A and B are shown apart, each in its own frame.
Chain A
C-alpha cells in the first residue's frame, strides 16, 4: 500500500475522533447558541467515570450507558447551577465561565485520578486492518459517530422536543410566548451535549489513551471541524472532522513540516470565519433586528 493511501486512511481514523467531539459542539450550539470551551474537558471527565466503572468490574456496555446517563445529569446540573446565574450576562462572561469550567475539570480529574496515563478498553476488535492503516476500533469509532449523527439529525428534525430546543435557542422570547420552557430547554441541551461528549470520550480513549489532557488537543481540531462543516449542521461537523483529519495528514506529510499541523487547523478556523462563516453546510444565521 502506498504512503498516500495509508495517510488518507489514517487521517479518516483521526478525523472520526474530531468528528465525534465536533458533534458535541454542534449539539451545545444548537441548544444554546453558544460554544462551550469546556466541552472537551467534560468529555474527558465522563471518560474517567466510565473508566472507574469498568475498573470495578462493570461490563463495558453497561458502563457506557451509565456514563452517558450520569453525564446527561451532570450537564443539566452544570447549566442549572453554574451557567444559569450568568444567563443574561454579556457573551464575554460566558466565555470566562466556560474557561473556568475547563480548568476546573482538568485539575479535578488530575487530583482524583492522577496524571498517570491510563489504558482504556475497546469494545471492538483492535486488530490492525488494511496494512495497519486503521484498526477495528477505528472503524467502530466511525460507525458510532455516524449512529450519533443520525440520532441527532432525527432528534432535531422530527421530535417535538428537538424542535422546541431549536426554538428556545434561536428565539427565546417567541419560544416562551408559545409555551416552551426555555430555561429547561437550555438545561436539557447541556445535558445532551455532555452525553454526546461522553460517547466521544469513550470512543477516543482507547486510541489516545486516557489522561487529564486527552481532549485539550482534540478540542481545537474539533472546533476547526465544526466550523468548517457549519456549526449548525451535525452532518457538516462530521464531514468537517473527516476533512480536517485527512487534510492534516496530507499537508503535514507532503506540503509543510509536521510541526505546522496545528497551525493548519487554526488557519482553517480563520479562513472559514473570514470567507464563509456559516461553514460548508451551515444555515446562514439571519437575525431580525
Chain B
C-alpha cells in the first residue's frame, strides 16, 4: 500500500478517534435514564383490579430500593423507581410501557408483572431495545434469547416445576393414576404442558381425569368431587391460593387420600395451608426455591432476620406473612447485583450483557443450595428447586437440589 496524503489522513483520524474513544470507554457511558446521579428504573404492577394481591411486590421492590438509596445507592448513583399501575390489563400495560420508555426515558423496565401484560409489551420492548428484565411470571416463554434478546424471566418456570413432580411421581408412586385440577388460563396450561412432557409417552394413559376452574368460580368443590370419583391415586393441584385452600379442605373432607402435589404458587403456610387447616394439609408435596417467611425453621436464621428488619424499617405497611414480600426483596437484590456489575457503563446493552452474566449469585432468602446463574444462551436465572413435604407444621425439605438438566 502506497502512502499518500489520503491514507495518512485516514490513519491519523482513526488513531485520534481511538485515543479519544479509549479513555471514554474506561470512563463512563450512559444510556437513557442513567447519569452520574441516578438510574431510572420503570416498573408495571397491578395495584388495582383482579390481581391486585400482587401489588405488594411492586411496593416491596420500591422499599428495597429505598434501603439501597439510604446506604448510598449503587456505585454512588441513587435509584429512581417509577412504578405504574396496569390493573393486570394488557392494553393498559402497553400504554404504561410506552410512557416509561418514551416519556420517562427509563434505563430499563424491571419486574413488569403477569403473563398477559408481559406478552403484550414484549414485542415493543424488543423493538425499542429496552431491557424487560426479570419479568414477574413463571411462564416458560421468557427464556428465548434468540428471538427476544431484551426479555428475561427470573423465577423457575412452571414447566420446570411440573416436570419435577412428574419425575417424582414416576419414581415413587406405584401404578399412578393422576387427577389434575388446574386454572383455565396460560398459567394452568403451562403447568399441564410441563406435566405431560415430564410423564412422557404414557401421559395420556397416566392422567385419568382433568378438571379446570375459572377464577370467577366461587368454589372448586364440584371439580374435586369429580376428580376423586375418577379413582385417581395422585392429585396434582394447580391452583392459586384461595382455590388451593378450598381444594385441600375438600380432598380431606371427602376422605380421599391421594399423593397430593401442590404447585409452588400456593405453597404459603399462613395464607393457604392454615386457612385450609394444617392437619388437612399434612403430607402434601410441593417444590420451592425461596423461604416461606411463616415457616418457623427459617425464622431464627440471619437471612430471615435481615429481611424482617428491612420489612419493619422500610415497608411496615407490608404483610410479614406474605411470600410476595420475600419475592420482591429477592428479585430487587438480583437487579442491584446486575447494576453493580455494570459499573460505570450504564447502557441498555451492558445491562443485558451483565444480566446474562450472573455466576452463582447467592440471594439470601432463596433455599440453601439454590443460586442464580445466567449466560448469553441462558435467560432463566433460577432453574433449581427443592422438593418439600408438609409435616403438619413446617415444610420439610427432602432430596437434593433439582434442576431440569441435572435431574
Chain A residues within CB distance 8 Å of chain B: 3, 6-7, 10-11, 13-14, 17-18, 107, 110, 114-119, 128, 131-133, 135, 204, 207-209, 211-213, 216-218, 220-221, 248-249, 252-253, 257-259, 261-262
Partner-binding segment picked from B102-110, B141-149, B213-221:
B213-221
Please name all residues of chain A whose beta carbon is closer than 8 Å to the beta carbon of B319 when the two chains form the complex: 114, 116
Q: Are B275 and A209 in contact, CB atoms less than 8 angstroms apart?
A: yes
The answer to whether B241 has its CB under 8 Å from any CB of chain A is yes
Sort A-B residue pairs by CB-CB distance and give the 8 closest, nearest first: A115-B53, A132-B254, A128-B253, A119-B275, A132-B253, A3-B229, A217-B216, A249-B222
Given A13-B221, A14-B221, answer yes or no on A3-B226 (Cβ-Cβ < 8 Å): yes
Please name all residues of chain B whose beta carbon is closer than 8 Å to the beta carbon of A117 when the two chains form the complex: 241-242, 245, 271-272, 275
The answer to whether B250 has its CB under 8 Å from any CB of chain A is yes
Q: Are B221 and A213 in contact, CB atoms less than 8 angstroms apart?
A: no
Q: Are B245 and A209 in contact, CB atoms less than 8 angstroms apart?
A: yes
Q: Are B211 and A114 in contact, CB atoms less than 8 angstroms apart?
A: no
Once the chains are docked, how many angstroms separate the CA of A207 from the CA of B225? 16
Given A117-B242, A209-B242, answer yes or no on A221-B275 (Cβ-Cβ < 8 Å): no
Q: Are B242 and A6 in contact, CB atoms less than 8 angstroms apart?
A: no
Q: Are B212 and A10 in contact, CB atoms less than 8 angstroms apart?
A: no
The answer to whether B48 has its CB under 8 Å from any CB of chain A is yes
Binary contact readout B195-219 vs A (1 if CB under 8 angstroms, 0 otherwise)? 0000000000000000111111111
The answer to whether B371 has its CB under 8 Å from any CB of chain A is no
The answer to whether B296 has its CB under 8 Å from any CB of chain A is no
Q: Are B275 and A131 in contact, CB atoms less than 8 angstroms apart?
A: no
Q: Are A10 and B222 in contact, CB atoms less than 8 angstroms apart?
A: yes
Please name all residues of chain B whose beta carbon is closer than 8 Å to the beta carbon of A118 when the two chains form the complex: 275
Q: Are A7 and B225 in contact, CB atoms less than 8 angstroms apart?
A: yes
Once the chains are docked, how many angstroms separate the CA of A118 from the CA of B138? 25
Once the chains are docked, how many angstroms separate the CA of A112 from the CA of B221? 30
Question: In chain B, what residue has the closest Cβ to A135?
Answer: B253
Once the chains are docked, how many angstroms separate the CA of A262 from the CA of B222? 13
A to B CB contacts below 8 Å, 25 in the list: A3-B226, A6-B229, A7-B226, A10-B221, A14-B221, A14-B222, A17-B218, A114-B56, A115-B52, A116-B319, A116-B321, A117-B271, A117-B275, A132-B252, A132-B255, A133-B254, A207-B219, A207-B246, A209-B246, A209-B275, A211-B242, A217-B215, A217-B217, A220-B216, A262-B214
Give chain A nearest CB distance to B209 CB in angstroms. Answer: 11
Please name all residues of chain A whose beta carbon is closer than 8 Å to the beta carbon of B48 when the two chains form the complex: 107
The answer to whether B223 has its CB under 8 Å from any CB of chain A is yes
Once the chains are docked, how many angstroms separate the CA of A86 from the CA of B227? 50
The answer to whether B119 has its CB under 8 Å from any CB of chain A is no
* CB contact between A213 and one of B50, B254, B321 (< 8 Å): that residue: B50
Give chain A nearest CB distance to B173 CB in angstroms. Answer: 23
Q: Are A115 and B226 in contact, CB atoms less than 8 angstroms apart?
A: no
Please name all residues of chain B whose beta carbon is closer than 8 Å to the beta carbon of A11 when the two chains form the complex: 222
Once the chains are docked, how many angstroms separate the CA of A182 from the CA of B275? 45
Binary contact readout B309-329 vs A (1 if CB under 8 angstroms, 0 otherwise)? 000000000010110000000
Q: Are B222 and A252 in contact, CB atoms less than 8 angstroms apart?
A: yes
Give chain B nearest CB distance to A38 CB in angstroms. Answer: 16
Once the chains are docked, how many angstroms separate the CA of A3 from the CA of B245? 22
